[in-house]
Amino acid sequence: MALIVQKFGGTSVGTVERIEQVAEKVKKFRDGGDDIVVVVSAMSGETNRLIDLAKQISDQPVARELDVMVSTGEQVTIALLAMALIKRGVPAVSYTGNQVRILTDSAHTKARILQIDGQRIQRDIKAGRVVVVAGFQGVDEKGNITTLGRGGSDTTGVALAAALKADECQIYTDVDGVYTTDPRVVAKAQRLDKITFEEMLEMASLGSKVLQIRAVEFAGKYSVPLRVLHSFQEGPGTLITLDEEESMEQPIISGIAFNRDEAKLTIRGVPDTPGVAFKILGPISAANVEVDMIVQNVAHDNTTDFTFTVHRNDYNNALQVLQGIASEMGAREVIGDTDIAKVSIVGVGMRSHAGVASRMFEALAKENINIQMISTSEIKVSVVIEEKYLELAVRALHTAFELDAPAGNTAE
């Protein structure tokens, strides 16, 4: 008998009919002798609907109240799924994040899980119940409802699996695994049988939407066996593993990630003095804005141009902060660009192969795609380009690194 945590995303529970299908799948596992904890998202489109309601009241809703409202989406789904299971003769009980006691910090709309009290769930499991938990949400030490940010239900699922010492965490979604890149952009993308936590972490952080980055971090940190599966199609999915298989056939690049949600900010003519980077990025960080790529250029007149990227949703906030910094530091100007995108190649094989970056740059040059910024790590190379060239760049790189599926074996 195994303990399995299963997470179903918004499209998997998007209608009552789909919730019934999920209940059938959960029942099948339970009938096979497994103990099951299910984590669900809000029904597809529901979170956006709630956010739109809030924005009809205020362009910038108070974060605490926004969390109170959007957390109700999952509350509907857990109750419906529990009802569907009970209808099928499966004892089930639903819990919100607060009821489980998923303790988080107080960073509303992007909270981090600090601790999970699994005792209540374990008692229910011992009593033979399937436990259905609301994803995406928790509670801070003062009792305020918090949410974990987009894709937060993945994190809830993995964190619960870690807290309960589950045998496997299964992430059910609308794709049948992790692909070399988005099949909607590259028809010849291939499903990966396995990928390392390290590669998946890079893919998630660089724009791959299959899993949320914090979910992968949790899984890697606590060695939670993680599998990505299709909600309504049978198949092995993709196993995310700690092991780097030593193989002659290990590809140099495992996948190509991209992110359209990027924006670029530049502060020009800043005096080039010690501590300039902190003077710029300190206030940006204090405004709870995450910075991604950074480039600094020093001019002959001892001034510097400092460029960095942020999520597009944070652009206006970051721009406002940066304009204040520019005024204080006597900078020449602040400029921004929201028509950019980031493309990245990822693979543990890069550690043992030279010339990977130059091969990437050559492929982009052949398509006359200009590179605006470059960032590298041990297993990835990222570039910022004009957004209009994004799909062309992804297809060119997919072919250049021999990731295209053989004829007749393409993703549907």
- CATH ID of 1-173, from 3.90.850.10, 3.40.50.1970, 3.40.1160.10, 3.90.1150.10: 3.40.1160.10
Is 179 part of any known ligand binding site?
A: yes
234 known ligand binder: no
As a whole number of angstroms, the distance between CA 294 and CA 221 comes to: 27
- Other CB atoms within a 10 A radius of the CB of residue 84 amount to 21
Residue 173 annotated as binding site:
yes
Query: Is residue 208 within 8 Å of residue 255, measured between CB atoms?
Result: yes
- 174 in a labelled binding site: yes
pTM of the predicted model as reported, rounded to 2 decimal places = 0.78
Structural contact between residues 202 and 377, judged by C-beta atoms closer than 8 angstroms: yes
Is 7 one of the annotated binding-site residues?
yes
What pLDDT, on a 0 to 100 scale, did the predictor assign at position 247?
A: 42
Low-confidence ranges of the chain (pLDDT < 70): 207, 243-250, 408-412
Per-residue 3-state assignment (H helix, E strand, C coil) for the chain: CCEEEEEECCCCCCCHHHHHHHHHHHHHHHHCCCEEEEEECCCCCHHHHHHHHHHHHCCCCCHHHHHHHHCHHHHHHHHHHHHHHHHCCCCEEEECHHHHCEEECCCCCCCCEEEECCHHHHHHHHCCCEEEEECCEEECCCCCEEECCCCHHHHHHHHHHHHHCCCEEEEEECCCCCECCCCCCCCCCCECCEEEHHHHHHHHHCCCCCCCHHHHHHHHHCCCCEEEEECCCCCCCEEEECCCCCCCCCCCCCEEEEEEEEEEEEEEEEECCCCHHHHHHHHHHHCCCCEEEEEEEECCCCEEEEEEEEEHHHHHHHHHHHHHHHHHHCCCEEEEEEEEEEEEEECHHHHHCCCHHHHHHHHHHHCCCCCCEEEEECCEEEEEEEHHHHHHHHHHHHHHCCCCCCCCCCCC
pLDDT digits (tens, 9 = 90+) for 119-164: 999 999 999 999 999 999 999 999 999 999 888 999 999 999 999 9
Q: Which pLDDT does position 411 carry in this prediction?
A: 52
**Amino acid making up residue 154:** D
Per-residue model confidence (pLDDT) at position 251: 72
Has 197 been labeled as part of a binding site?
no
Confidence at residue 206, expressed as pLDDT on a 0 to 100 scale: 73
The pLDDT of residue 305 is: 93
Please tell me the predicted confidence (pLDDT) of residue 61. 93
Of 278, 276, 200, nearest to 243 by C-alpha is 200
Model pLDDT, residue 250: 59
pLDDT of residue 248: 38
Written as six digits, the tokens of 144 are 């305020």
156 labelled binding-site residue: no
CA triplet 51, 216, 33: central angle to 5 degrees? 95
| C-alpha span between 46 and 83 (Å, rounded) | 19
Q: Which of 76, 69, 72 is nearest to 14 (CA)?
A: 76
269 annotated as belonging to a binding site for a ligand: no
Tokens of 282: 């300190």
Residue 77 annotated as lining a ligand binding site: no
Specify the pLDDT at position 246: 47
8 is in an annotated binding site: yes
- Residues 6 or more apart whose CB falls under 8 angstroms from that of 179 comprise 189, 190, 191, 192, 210, 255, 411
pLDDT, tens only, 322-339 = 999 999 999 999 999 999
* Residue in this structure with the two tokens 């590259």, named with its chain if needed: 186
Q: What is the pLDDT, as a whole number, of residue 357?
A: 94
* Dihedral sign from CA coordinates of 29, 30, 31, 33: positive
Q: What's the confidence (pLDDT) of residue 298?
A: 83
